[in-house]
Structure 1
Amino acid sequence: MSLAKYVVPANEVHYEFEIAGLSEFQLTRFELHEALNEIGYLDVDLINVDTSIDLASAMGKKASLKILAGTEDDRQARYYHGIVQRFELTGTDDKAAYYSARVVPRLWKLGRKHKSRVHVTEQSQRKTFKDVVEKVLQEGGLSGTSVSFKLNEGDYQPFSFLTQYRETDLDFIKRLCEEDGVGFSFDHTEEEEVLQLFDSNQKLKEANPYSEVIYRHAAGMLEDEYESIQSFQVSHQLDYGKVEMREYDFKDSQKKISGDKTGKSDDSLEYYDYAVKFQDEEGATERMKKTAKLRSEEYDAGVYVGTGRGDYRSMAAGKLFTLSECPSDALNKQWLPVEVVHRGTESNQVAGDGAPLGMGGYSYSMEFKAMPADVTFRPKRKAAKPIVLGSQTATVVGPAGEEIHTDEHGRVRVRMHWDRERQKEEDSSFWIRVSQQSAGRMWGMFFLPRIGQEVVVDFLEGDPNHPIITGSVYNDYQLPPYRPVPENKTRSTIKTNSTPGGNGFNELRFEDKKGSEQVFMHAEKNFDLRVKNDGKETYGNNHHLVVGGSNGGDQHERYKNDRHVIVEKNHYEKIESERKLKVGGDQIQHIDGDFFNDVGGDRLMITSGDSKNRVTGDSFHTVTGDLEAYSAAEQRVGAMRNVCISSVSGSVFVAAVQQIQLSVGPSFIKIDNTGVTIEGPMVKVNSGGIATPNMTKFKQPEVRSMDEADPAKAADADNDTSGEKSAW
């Protein structure tokens, strides 16, 4: 291997530093810190003959450091770009002013953008890691050629829900990178600083201008002329050798969702964790396996590391280099720097009378930490994930014109009070599960929050990406059903609202005011009660039942077996119109007292079989009109004693088609079509005397006055007003 391929003359060095828009500075000292997945910074000490520079004018200005090395004919440059984050005047004398500055990448500014917002609410929006990070970077002014994504994009599934909660844009990006195993570094060209995000070492560039660096320990005069690594140590440490991750998905609750990966260390040292990260995401198992792989690679990345120092100015975090000529041949391979610190000084003589700043002696050193390039870099999870301390409230949202917006799992959407970016109501959040008092398999309690209601939102393990609705609260717009509350403080209720449009309700209410206790039930339309066994009701006082309203109403009862009714006192029943009764079998009626039957019109009784009346006392029939008795067969009238038939003021007619016969003992009179036959031991004609019946037996029956049934009027049940719509 030719030495010229990988060595740069190191015996000359010069530093140049400038801040856009300000006069020329001379750098006297710098310290540059770089690290993968860190912002890093450049601290410089400066001299300027201008003693009146406005410090504020430097804030946020582009600044550049150029490290020049080599001979004038073969000079190499190492660049660093950023913005001025701090600028200080540290002293002055009669020749110049002395300043110090801190320069940081433009990405630093995202650390001063503190927000709470929802980035993704639907998997259908197809926002992946790159989509989200790219959007945040663009908002921070980083786009185009200043950002480079080097990702296997097919490995990133869309988020179903993603929240940035009380964290800066920078912390948010770093957290996403750490969770998805994405590294980032800064590549500095002659013109600009480029933020590059990568998920594979193979996508990283090699160090410029030469990627091979010689190892020179206790270098002599010749070797001092070339950049080299002068010290290099490696260490091996024990860490987790196996990772297993597990998750629960309520959509597939019987399935075990897990992933595991064995790493490079002792697999008896296991990292097992339960994550709620992938809840409600498609491909949860695949993502869980990927997470286990990422965590395993994260631990593997720290098992074998090297540290060193030298004067290799092209060393940069994220730039691959190959070590050569190291006595330990196992170390002569490609490495990935993960941390680098550059330090340099230049002794400058300040000339008077406006003379240019001169060049003096210099010094330069570099320290670094690296890992083998064949071990995948994964950032350590250092960014603290935001935790929601306690519950919050939010407003239920949905499409315009709807009052209830839900999915097949009974979930709803909400808008958090701190979310200022979501304009569409239905896009304010993803579907959130609603906690119920009881949730069984096709049984339990179920109440859906409606659009416009204020609900209480809790978060699983405090994770803002995993909200769950645990209740609801009233506010100045969503008021309690009974107001003012202090005057109705003894009322407890479950009251719903008809939808759409309101103007109706169902309710179960409890009044606990002493002396006015009440249980109130209201059904806006139908009321169905089903008891599969016995049903018992006991009323300590009156029971009122009103069936029907302004449009009338019927009462229908059906008993599949016996019906037993006992009235321990009087029974009043009044029927304003017809009463019809049909008995499929016998009807037995037993009255211990008198029976009064008052018919205002005609009375018709049809008996298909025999009709039998038994009267243990007298029987009186009074007919104010005619009385007719007709029998299609024989008719018999008999008495144990006398039978009297008489007409008080008219005649008595007895007629027969065939014969009429009167008999007393051996005597009889027969009248038929042949004549009149009279027989008896003695027949007397015109012998004096008349047949006079005992009319005292024909008395008018005593009829008691019959009061009409006048039952008390049933009182209407308590009435109440309906609720109002929740939606605006």
Structure 2
Amino acid sequence: MPLLLGEPALVVTRLQGEESLSALYNYTVTATTPDNSNISWQAASAIDIKSLIGKQMTLRIALNDWRTDTGTEKAYREITGIVQQVRYLGRRNNCALYQMVLRPWLYLAELTSDFRIFQNKTVTEIIGEILADYDFPHEKRISETYPPLEYQVQYGETDFAFIQRLMEAWGLYWFFEHQGQQHKLVIVDNIGAHKPFFAGSPHVVGYDQQTHENRKEYIAEFHHLQTLTSGRWVTNDYDFTRSRADIMSLDSQPRQTSFNQQEIFDWPGNYGDPATGDHLARVRMEEQGAAGSRSQGSAPVPTIVCGCVFTLDHYPLAKANCEYLVLGTELDFREITERTGKADFSLQCHFHVQPVTKIYRHPRSVPRRRTYGPQTAIVVGPPGKEIWTDEYGRIKVRFLWDRYGKNRESDSCWLRVSQPWAGNNFGGICIPRVGHEVIIDFINGDPDRPLVMGSLYNNVTMPPWELPENATQSGWISRTPGGGRANFNGIRFEDKPGLENYWEQAERDMSRLTKRDEEQVIGRSRAVTVGANDALSVAGESSLLVGGALGISVGGEQNDNVGGAKGINVGGAFMTAVGGYHSVVVGGAHQMAAGGAATMTAGGIFCINSANELVISAPLVRIIGSGQLVLQGGQVLINPGDCQNCGGGGGGGGGAIIGKPGIPGILGGTGMVGLSGLPIPTESPTESPTDTPLPTPTETETPPWSPPVG
């Protein structure tokens, strides 16, 4: 308090204000400068009111005018607060008038807003973490156990609005205890946490509407109210991990009135566990039930205090004489002299109460924050991880508004990712990778329920091909984790007129399965290059139709294995050129047919072997040995059909070589020739230098060979 001439510069003349459960109280203090002729009104008007802002101020109301049994600990009722506003009202005679507004320290939480994420913390832990930023006393008197909340966001809310919203949702409420020139915040969830104003003894206040005789502490007015309320609360929500489960919760506490079954259905309930839903439904139903039985009154006493309990006595309605919890008060105190405390005064206290048989639940006054349109975020994960996901394909992100984020997997909850199609083990899926920018939207606009809707390019993650010069290209390019720009699987469509193209790449292996028929039509050329092996397996028939030439070039070996028959039909010439050895092995019969001439040429020996019989058949057969012709066999038969007793001796002596002397003898004296139509040479006479030998009657000139006609 500032001083004027060594004495307090301000004297309180009036105190009025409101204080309620789960509400920031507001007390207005009117004060004047001392009525001292030595203090000019100019000096009285020059008090530095700015220096009072933010200061903590305590007002004391002496209680001995109302009770004689207050004791030393409760000789005063204190009202403490922080000076939130000071106003200079003007001059009154030689004094200056001022007005100050006192607010609780929790009012400071209305001056701070933030975007923060809380994960896997109970509601009381979140509240404690927020209040830890304020160096003021607070206490929790709670009896219930609260579950950890997977994900809660303070989304641009003031600290006060955020914790108030959480407490209202979960059934917690609060009030202040003023004592020892401090005001302590007390957070409660049960009626047993409230105490009488005078600790250690019940606080009984009698009802006395008329006489007020022999009563310093009495209630002058008291009105008991009964109100029609809803009797059932139903809530529901959805948990995608139990998508077929019914997690609806219902709580019914109908009061003994008509129309007590009216039902409120609340959706979404903002829960995933049925037990949590039951708790939230019960809290809302308790709120409805408590609001049905309330009372209000007035008393010229300062001892009916918000958050305390007292017992009403001597009220005409007998059932109203019970213990009450003070929900709120409106206090008006006039002409309090700070220096002596002996000036005349008047006091009036209006109050609102409810029986302690009903637990108090504060109505939900703070709405949930809503988002307006989508946002973007950056995908995060553990160090060294390029892809970070779970069994549902969810990812984690760092929101751009999250100034506490560390670009780690702890920056958010798991976010479901929208996919082009999602079925039971079928559909499409693309997992956004660490460092990618993604589009975020929220279910029902709730910041606590984010979804990934898509991805965006930025200056760090650029498109897969240069733009705008390749604006006609579209497609899909992946990236091998840890790889570079060349390591990917992809497809690409080029729509530039005249250059339309479809392109695909498999970074390593490619597999394709067609469970029935497959047809491929190529309008022009096709080229296939295989860097290593190529295998084709056809379970049924296979056909190859080539309209023009077909060339097959094999750098190594080629093996054809045909389990059945094989036919080769060539409409024109057919040539086989073998640079080395050529072998044909036929397990059964072998037939070669030529419509025209047939020629077989060997650069070395030419052998024909038969295990049984060798037949050379033609209208004309010529066997020509340009050097020598040798026919060798166990028996050599010439025209065997004309020789009945042809035979030779045993052993090899029976053989003969055509063209050697003695052949006719070997063949018998018949004069037959073994190779019909061919000349049998005889011994030539001795040559003379001047005689030219003439052919014998048995010799004929051999005409030049020509192929048979037809």
Pick aligned residue for 1:656 from 611, 626, 633: 633
1:217 aligns with 2:209: yes
Q: Which residue of 2 aligns with 1:578?
A: 557
Q: Which residue of 1 aligns with 2:284?
A: 295
Q: Which residue of 1 aligns with 2:473?
A: 491
Verify the 8 A CA contact 1:661 1:668 in the aligned structure 2. Answer: no
Pick aligned residue for 1:150 from 141, 154, 158: 141
1:119 aligns with 2:110: no
User: 1:401 offset after TM fit, Å?
Assistant: 0.6
User: 1:666 offset after TM fit, Å?
Assistant: 6.9
Q: Which residue of 2 aligns with 1:246?
A: 236
User: 1:602 offset after TM fit, Å?
Assistant: 2.6
1:481-534 Cα shifts (integer Å, max 9, x gaps): 112x22111111111110134451111211111211112111101111101010
Q: 1:563 to 1:418 in 2, by over 3 A?
A: same
Q: Which residue of 1 aligns with 2:573?
A: 594
User: 1:347 offset after TM fit, Å?
Assistant: 6.9
User: 1:63 offset after TM fit, Å?
Assistant: 0.5
Q: Give the partner amino acid of 2:143.
A: N
Verify the 8 A CA contact 2:66 2:217 in the aligned structure 1. Answer: no
Verify the 8 A CA contact 1:230 1:308 in the aligned structure 2. Answer: yes
1:360 aligns with 2:343: yes
1:134-185 Cα shifts (integer Å, max 9, x gaps): 111111223xxx211011242x001111100010000011101100010100
User: 1:682 offset after TM fit, Å?
Assistant: 8.9
1:456 aligns with 2:439: yes
1:608-640 Cα shifts (integer Å, max 9, x gaps): 22221222333222334332222233222222x
Q: 1:592 to 1:24 in 2, by over 3 A?
A: same
CA distance in 2, matches of 1:389, 1:645: 105
Gaps of 5+ in 2: 35-43, 655-664, 674-679, 684-695
- Look up the SS of the partner of 2:605 in the other structure: coil
Q: Which residue of 2 aligns with 1:518?
A: 501
Task: Count how many residue pairs are aligned between Structure 1 and Structure 2.
Answer: 654
Identical pairs, percent: 27
CA distance in 2, matches of 1:24, 1:54: 11
User: 1:83 offset after TM fit, Å?
Assistant: 0.6
User: 1:688 offset after TM fit, Å?
Assistant: 2.4
Q: Which residue of 1 aligns with 2:129?
A: 135
Q: Which residue of 2 aligns with 1:61?
A: 55
Q: Which residue of 2 aligns with 1:393?
A: 376
- Look up the SS of the partner of 1:70 in the other structure: coil
Q: 1:535 to 1:566 in 2, by over 3 A?
A: same
Pick aligned residue for 1:688 from 681, 691, 697: 697
User: 1:691 offset after TM fit, Å?
Assistant: 4.3
1:187 aligns with 2:177: yes
Verify the 8 A CA contact 1:307 1:368 in the aligned structure 2. Answer: yes
- Look up the SS of the partner of 1:390 in the other structure: coil
Q: 1:267 to 1:72 in 2, by over 3 A?
A: closer
Q: Which residue of 2 aligns with 1:709?
A: none
- Look up the SS of the partner of 1:110 in the other structure: helix
With CA pairs under 8 Å and 6+ residues apart, which has the higher RCO, 1 or 2?
Answer: 1
1:87 aligns with 2:86: yes
Q: 1:317 to 1:63 in 2, by over 3 A?
A: same
User: 1:51 offset after TM fit, Å?
Assistant: 3.6
Verify the 8 A CA contact 2:380 2:407 in the aligned structure 1. Answer: no
- Look up the SS of the partner of 2:220 in the other structure: strand
User: 1:81 offset after TM fit, Å?
Assistant: 0.7
CA distance in 2, matches of 1:574, 1:333: 108
Q: Give the partner amino acid of 1:433.
A: R
Q: 1:457 to 1:528 in 2, by over 3 A?
A: same
Q: 1:661 to 1:304 in 2, by over 3 A?
A: same
- Look up the SS of the partner of 1:635 in the other structure: coil
Pick aligned residue for 2:296 from 300, 307, 311: 307
Q: Which residue of 1 aligns with 2:18?
A: 33
Pick aligned residue for 2:267 from 255, 271, 274: 274
User: 1:276 offset after TM fit, Å?
Assistant: 5.1
1:697 aligns with 2:706: yes
Verify the 8 A CA contact 1:662 1:669 in the aligned structure 2. Answer: no
1:261-280 Cα shifts (integer Å, max 9, x gaps): 1123344200112225124x
Q: 1:617 to 1:664 in 2, by over 3 A?
A: farther
Verify the 8 A CA contact 2:635 2:647 in the aligned structure 1. Answer: no
CA distance in 1, matches of 2:588, 2:67: 139
1:87-137 Cα shifts (integer Å, max 9, x gaps): 1121235633211000000000000001111122xx3xxx21111111111
1:443-488 Cα shifts (integer Å, max 9, x gaps): 11111111101111111111100101111111111111112x2211
User: 1:38 offset after TM fit, Å?
Assistant: 0.3
Verify the 8 A CA contact 1:240 1:271 in the aligned structure 2. Answer: yes
- Look up the SS of the partner of 1:111 in the other structure: helix
Verify the 8 A CA contact 1:667 1:679 in the aligned structure 2. Answer: no
- Look up the SS of the partner of 1:299 in the other structure: helix
Q: Give the partner amino acid of 1:203.
A: A
Q: Which of 1 and 2 has greater Rg?
A: 2
Verify the 8 A CA contact 1:491 1:512 in the aligned structure 2. Answer: yes
User: 1:42 offset after TM fit, Å?
Assistant: 0.7
CA distance in 1, matches of 2:563, 2:46: 118
1:493-642 aligned at under 5 Å gives the runs 493-503=475-485, 504-548=487-531, 553-639=532-618, 641-642=619-620
CA distance in 2, matches of 1:31, 1:471: 57
CA distance in 2, matches of 1:87, 1:502: 66
- Look up the SS of the partner of 1:134 in the other structure: helix
CA distance in 1, matches of 2:2, 2:175: 23
CA distance in 2, matches of 1:73, 1:203: 25
CA distance in 2, matches of 1:276, 1:72: 49
1:318 aligns with 2:317: no
Q: Give the partner amino acid of 2:627.
A: G
Q: 1:645 to 1:528 in 2, by over 3 A?
A: same
TM-score (norm 2): 0.87
Deviation larger for 501-510 or 330-339: 501-510
User: 1:241 offset after TM fit, Å?
Assistant: 0.4
User: 1:247 offset after TM fit, Å?
Assistant: 1.6
RMSD: 2.6
Q: 1:404 to 1:365 in 2, by over 3 A?
A: same
User: 1:23 offset after TM fit, Å?
Assistant: 3.5
Verify the 8 A CA contact 1:347 1:362 in the aligned structure 2. Answer: yes
TM-score (norm 1): 0.85
- Look up the SS of the partner of 2:286 in the other structure: helix
- Look up the SS of the partner of 1:315 in the other structure: coil
1:274-293 Cα shifts (integer Å, max 9, x gaps): 225124xxxx1100000110
Deviation larger for 73-82 or 532-541: 73-82
1:393-420 Cα shifts (integer Å, max 9, x gaps): 1111111111011112211111110111
Q: 1:418 to 1:677 in 2, by over 3 A?
A: closer
CA distance in 2, matches of 1:305, 1:251: 43
Q: Give the partner amino acid of 1:204.
A: H
CA distance in 2, matches of 1:298, 1:381: 9
CA distance in 1, matches of 2:276, 2:672: 132
CA distance in 2, matches of 1:561, 1:193: 92
